[in-house]
């Protein structure tokens, strides 16, 4: 694909879609929303653009918030923050639910700040929203909808723009809550384990200047037990791993620590609506979970959950292959 031609087509489309309105960009500081901001600034001018970041308090990476501030300054665009912590805790009490969190909380908060304008998001072919095929849907405009990650990265490279990285994932970085793979029934236990472990892992890796494609800690297990699965790609030397393990083992909300060092099978329980829907199971495994693991994963689906408080899924265990 010709990047220059793609850019010109997108800028013309943005001008036609936005018209005389203002554009409010749901801005995470990641690849997708930054490219939307770059295109929009050239297409309609910075005076008509406002960046809005939905901050989730401890569930947002500290490095991510630093990146948002830095990028807004580099882009020379207005930036506002809105707080979604309480709403996120309430939703994820019922299990992992990134799509609804993005749609109802992250973007819902942005829409509440809307004044005579349109909300722009970074949805594309690399996420499930991209499969909807609608660039303008329910008040949301997705300029990048028909593009995949390599093309979006190509646009960023064309502008010679660099994004500060958290180190979580070379393609998609974001909220820490996506690493809690079960109900957040107790924020002081389940959520705290996820928050602490996913700050610790980057502190240690950054201290050793360790370059990585993926780095996160998944919290799995039954509600009575938090198992921390360390996912790092490529796998670091034993000395670094031992340091991470030692720190995590001191955290009182973490009951066991293991390293994903080979393919694994996840044991998953889910609501009847998911268990009985092959497409839903496919997207949870291949779209939601696989891109975040350092090694290949497969799934063993348990019978439908009888817990009516579980709306989505829960990884209750695992087997190394």
d(CA 175, CA 165): 13
pLDDT at 1 over 70: no
pLDDT one-digit tens code per residue, 111-141: 887 777 899 998 888 776 545 556 887 778 9
The residues near 89 (Cβ < 8 Å, ≥ 6 apart) are: 184, 187, 191
- What pLDDT is recorded for position 91? 95
Burial zone of 45 (CB within 10 Å; 0-12 exposed, 13-18 middle, 19+ buried): exposed
What pLDDT is recorded for position 18?
Answer: 93
Single out the residue of 49, 56, 55, 105 nearest to residue 72, CA to CA.
Answer: 49
**pLDDT at 6 > cutoff 60:** yes
Q: Can you give the residue ranges of every domain in the chain?
A: 3-159, 176-320
Fold of 176-320: GMP Synthetase; Chain A, domain 3 (3.30.300)
pLDDT at residue 112 in the model? 84
The secondary element (H helix, E strand) that includes residue 103 is none
Averaged pLDDT for residues 230-257? 98
Q: Where does 3-159 sit in CATH, by number? A: 3.40.50.620
pLDDT in tens, 72-81: 999 999 999 9
Mean pLDDT, residues 207-211 taken together = 97
Residues 257-316: pLDDT tens digits?
A: 999 999 999 999 999 999 999 999 999 999 899 999 999 999 999 999 999 999 999 999
């Amino acid at each position: 694909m010709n990047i220059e031609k793609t850019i010109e087509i997108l800028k013309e489309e943005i001008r036609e879609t936005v018209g005389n309105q203002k554009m409010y960009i749901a801005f995470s500081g990641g690849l997708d929303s930054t490219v939307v901001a770059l295109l929009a600034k050239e297409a309609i001018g910075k005076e008509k653009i406002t960046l809005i970041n939905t901050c989730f308090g401890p569930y947002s990476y500290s490095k991510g918030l630093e990146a948002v501030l830095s990028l807004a300054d580099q882009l020379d665009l207005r930036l506002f923050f809105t707080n979604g912590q309480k709403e996120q805790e309430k939703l994820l009490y019922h299990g992992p639910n990134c799509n609804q969190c993005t749609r109802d909380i992250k973007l819902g908060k942005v829409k509440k700040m809307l004044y005579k304008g349109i909300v722009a998001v970074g949805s594309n072919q690399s996420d499930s929203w991209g499969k909807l095929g609608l660039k303008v849907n329910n008040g949301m405009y997705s300029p990048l909808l028909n593009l995949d990650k390599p093309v979006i990265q190509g646009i960023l490279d064309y502008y010679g723009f660099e994004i500060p990285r958290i180190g979580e994932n070379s393609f998609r970085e974001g909220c820490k809550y996506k690493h809690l793979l079960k109900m957040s029934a107790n924020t002081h236990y389940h959520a705290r384990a996820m928050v602490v472990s996913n700050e610790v892992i980057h502190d240690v890796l950054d201290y050793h200047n360790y370059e990585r494609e993926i780095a996160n800690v998944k919290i799995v297990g039954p509600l009575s037990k938090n198992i921390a699965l360390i996912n790092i790609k490529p796998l670091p030397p034993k000395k670094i791993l031992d340091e991470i393990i030692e720190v995590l083992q001191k955290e009182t909300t973490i009951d066991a620590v293991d390293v994903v060092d080979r393919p694994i099978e996840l044991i998953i329980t889910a609501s009847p609506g998911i268990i009985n829907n092959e497409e839903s199971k496919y997207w949870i495994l291949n779209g939601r979970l696989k891109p975040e693991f350092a090694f290949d994963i497969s799934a063993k689906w348990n019978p439908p959950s009888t817990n009516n408080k579980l709306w989505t899924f829960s990884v209750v265990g695992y087997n190394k292959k």
